[in-house]
Structure 1
Amino acid sequence: MELSYWEHKSWFSNVDFTIIGSGIVGLNCALSLKEKYPKSNILVLERGSLPQGASTKNAGFACFGSVSELLADLEHHTEQEVAELVQKRWNGIQRLRNLLGDSAIGFELHGSHELFPLEKPAFFEKCMDSISYLNDLMESVFGEKPFLPNRNLFGFENIQEQYITHVFEGQLDTGKMMRSLIQKCLSNGIPILYGVEVEALLEAETKAVVKTKNFEFDSKQVFVATNGFASKLLKSESIKPARAQVLITEPIKNLHIKGTFHFDEGYYYFRNIDNRILFGGGRNLDFDTEETTEFGHTEIIQNKLEALLNQTILPHQNVKIERRWSGIMGVGNQKSPIVKPISNSIFCGVRLGGMGVALGSLVGKELADLADL
């Protein structure tokens, strides 16, 4: 497709910054660039009709790491690295709340609870015994001790008699958050073009060439914020896609469950929303199949989610599933995001793991901080 004179002049000429990906990271990067360079010409490109990946498909958890997740992280990272990563998640959520306001993102602070299955008593005891140690490690992040044991407040079955509660974790409305970010970009004069798939990025002398499926254009600097899809453009980086499958029930009368919940080292997670239960996870049942950029769901994971829903979360209730979907995350051997220059004019902010909501705002700002006009 050849661009008309008007198309090229209006959208693709004299572009200072191009952001690839209109998710949490990409839009926060665009807003930070506009703040840093108010007169700059910024363009956001999105391959889908809505943000692809996970930004509009996640569960809306404002989470920082459960006890079992942190213990798993400490097997591969130092105490300082884990504390710094949790600090980034905390800072990211605070930045998002300050940027848009709690009402605009549907933020609610109900705390989160980690559940432990009956068949893993030793693991449960290990986590309970670690509360004091992790509270000491995390107190510098939150200003108080975040973890405390709690009784089975919501009548779940087939779990240990106590949860571990994180008092600072909350939840938000993913759709509201993304609509607010999009509106803020548009009101700041930042165009977002949908249905534009970038196939390659080329480094030129003082610029980058953005090659899309149908045309190409020049940009002084380019920022890749496609997370789980980033390996298509960034061959040198260690990023793997990770599909997360989710379901949501029909409305449930007198639903008493409120808050966010995790179990099995964070591989399963559920919450209340609009008198429904949103439940996702199970990637650990079939890591190889879920390492994909293809959306969809599988019988093995959906059957497990339904079994846990009926046997643990909402026992003795006849609940119906209204909708199923999936999102694509970006993961790697390390939990920390990759925010760095790829060349003189190409930069990336990717590999947010399962903490994209918490990290995205901060990673977007850090990505924008790499810009230098």
Structure 2
Amino acid sequence: MFSIWEQEALLRFDVIIIGAGIIGLSAAIELAGRKPQLEIAVLERGPFSSGASTRNAGFACFGSLTEIVADIERIGAEGALAVIDARRAGLELLRQRVGDANLRYEPLGGYELLFPEQLPVLDRLDEINTLLEPMFGDRVFRRDDAAIARFGFNQRKVAALLFNPFEGQIHSGAMVAQLMRLAAERGVRIITGATVLSVDDGPETAAAHCQFGTDHTATLTANELIVCTNAFTPTLLPDVPIVPGRGQVLVTSPIPELTLRGAFHFDEGFYYFRNLGNRVLFGGGRNLAFQEEETHASALNHTIQTRLEELLRTVILPNQEFQIEHRWAGIMGFSSTKLPIVQRVGQRITVGFGCNGMGVALGSSIAQQVAELVMQG
């Protein structure tokens, strides 16, 4: 049982946000900035974000040439450009809100490795640059084959290298830490260890039924409830059309005189790696087992991890000695259009989801749309 003090001051809010990732924290900051008198609570089941916000690769990117070409084939040029523009705008908003120093942002550019069988995509280079130039004010992709040797890649396997000066990399943990600080400074209450079991929508209030630890439960109520759990949204709202996708990541031991610098992709963005100081962070391979990786379990996939190691040793770091010191997985959420979905799903419940593996780029703009929808009532 709860005291009257607890019921009136600790369990009742104007806005409850479920999920303390990029979207949830950014939505709280947006709402508190627009209406400071709002009592806002953010509920998180773990000690901090449990999805992909702190388990990603820390890329500030918007798409490689092969990914963009594949998107044009799948959803058309207009749809592909809408996806890119949403990512670009989201990155700008994130950098404005958090600050480059707090993000530990490094404008090292983005690269894409092309293998011999992918060289025909270069025939689309001018076309894609022409499509993107109005958005970025310059050509986005240019060849930099000389960097293949400079970065130490296997020159027998990597046939071409594309450079994109508009991308960079961040420290995902530092990003979420600063978002938590910004939310707290605005009076947002972040409640960790709160597993939301179910939600209810009603004409007067919305409710989040929570479990704390093994033997404590509580129902928190609010005028507005926002679900920002991305891939995990269907556990609370089964009709929401989102599919989970697990991302596998590993990090090497320090490598003396490591020369590669930047954010790298290959194979339509399904593989991605970057320097992390003088280590290499490498992730991806979901396309090796799409169905198996459509899961909410943050477990390692041995087949994919083995393939990542193989590519590290044969393509990215040939003739280099290193050990694998860190491995993890994060759960992303995918929509059918590759665009985020922000909508009301009841009288007092709003959802924002569908980062499609681009949470760093899209999370801030999704949060902005969520806040606008909630403020409209």
Normalising by structure 2, report the TM-score. 0.95
Q: How does 1:81-230 map to 2 (within 5 A)?
A: 81-118=79-116, 121=117, 123-125=118-120, 127-151=121-145, 152=148, 153-157=150-154, 158-213=156-211, 214-230=217-233
Match of 1:18 among 16, 19, 37: 16
Name structure 2 gaps, 5 residues minimum: 212-216
User: Percent of aligned positions with the same letter in both sequences?
Assistant: 40
Q: Is the 8 A contact 1:203 1:345 kept in 2?
A: yes
Is 1:61 matched up with 2:59? yes
Offset at residue 329 of structure 1 (A): 0.3
Q: Is the 8 A contact 2:119 2:160 kept in 1?
A: no
Distance 2:42 2:368 in 1: 15
Distance 2:71 2:208 in 1: 37
Give secondary structure in 2 for the equivalent of 1:87. Answer: helix
Offset at residue 5 of structure 1 (A): 3.9
Offset at residue 11 of structure 1 (A): 2.2
Q: Is the 8 A contact 2:255 2:321 kept in 1?
A: no
Give secondary structure in 2 for the equivalent of 1:302. Answer: helix
Offset at residue 320 of structure 1 (A): 0.3
Q: Is the 8 A contact 1:18 1:219 kept in 2?
A: yes
Name structure 1 gaps, 5 residues minimum: none
* Structure 2 partner of 1:323: 326
Distance 2:282 2:9 in 1: 44
Distance 1:26 1:269 in 2: 26
- Residue 361 of structure 1 aligns with an amino acid whose one-letter code is S
The number of equivalent residue pairs is 367
- Residue 151 of structure 2 aligns with an amino acid whose one-letter code is F
Cα-to-partner distance string for 1:337-358 (whole Å, 9 max, x where unaligned): 1111111210011011111100
Cα-to-partner distance string for 1:111-145 (whole Å, 9 max, x where unaligned): 11111234xx2x322x2111100011111211111
* Structure 2 partner of 1:338: 341
Cα-to-partner distance string for 1:231-251 (whole Å, 9 max, x where unaligned): 111211210111101000111
* Structure 1 partner of 2:214: none
Q: Is the 8 A contact 1:246 1:280 kept in 2?
A: yes
Q: Is the 8 A contact 1:128 1:164 kept in 2?
A: no
Offset at residue 7 of structure 1 (A): 3.5
Q: Is the 8 A contact 1:223 1:347 kept in 2?
A: yes
Q: How does 1:237-256 map to 2 (within 5 A)?
A: 237-256=240-259
Q: How does 1:246-285 map to 2 (within 5 A)?
A: 246-285=249-288
Cα-to-partner distance string for 1:206-226 (whole Å, 9 max, x where unaligned): 221211231212210011110
Q: Is the 8 A contact 1:208 1:345 kept in 2?
A: yes
Distance 1:3 1:163 in 2: 62
Cα-to-partner distance string for 1:13-40 (whole Å, 9 max, x where unaligned): 2x11110000000011000101111101
Distance 2:279 2:109 in 1: 18
| Deviation larger for 153-162 or 169-178 | 153-162
Distance 2:7 2:333 in 1: 33
Change (3 A) 1:33 1:161: same
- Residue 24 of structure 1 aligns with an amino acid whose one-letter code is I
Cα-to-partner distance string for 1:144-174 (whole Å, 9 max, x where unaligned): 1111111124121143332111110111111
* Structure 1 partner of 2:34: 36
RMSD of the alignment, in Å?
A: 1.2
Distance 1:3 1:91 in 2: 44
Match of 1:48 among 46, 49, 66: 46
Q: Is the 8 A contact 1:83 1:141 kept in 2?
A: no
Normalising by structure 1, report the TM-score. 0.96
Distance 1:48 1:212 in 2: 13
Offset at residue 332 of structure 1 (A): 2.5
Offset at residue 6 of structure 1 (A): 4.1
Distance 1:269 1:3 in 2: 49
Match of 2:352 among 349, 354, 359: 349
Q: Is the 8 A contact 2:33 2:186 kept in 1?
A: no
Give secondary structure in 2 for the equivalent of 1:253. Answer: coil
Give secondary structure in 2 for the equivalent of 1:144. Answer: coil
Distance 2:229 2:366 in 1: 12
Cα-to-partner distance string for 1:163-211 (whole Å, 9 max, x where unaligned): 1111101111111111110111111111111110111111111221211
Q: Is the 8 A contact 2:115 2:160 kept in 1?
A: no
Distance 2:272 2:3 in 1: 48
Distance 2:230 2:20 in 1: 11
Q: Is the 8 A contact 2:244 2:331 kept in 1?
A: yes
Distance 1:52 1:34 in 2: 23
Give secondary structure in 2 for the equivalent of 1:353. Answer: coil
Distance 1:207 1:81 in 2: 37
Cα-to-partner distance string for 1:31-65 (whole Å, 9 max, x where unaligned): 01011111010000001122011000110000101
Distance 2:3 2:49 in 1: 26
Q: Is the 8 A contact 1:115 1:159 kept in 2?
A: no
Distance 2:326 2:271 in 1: 17
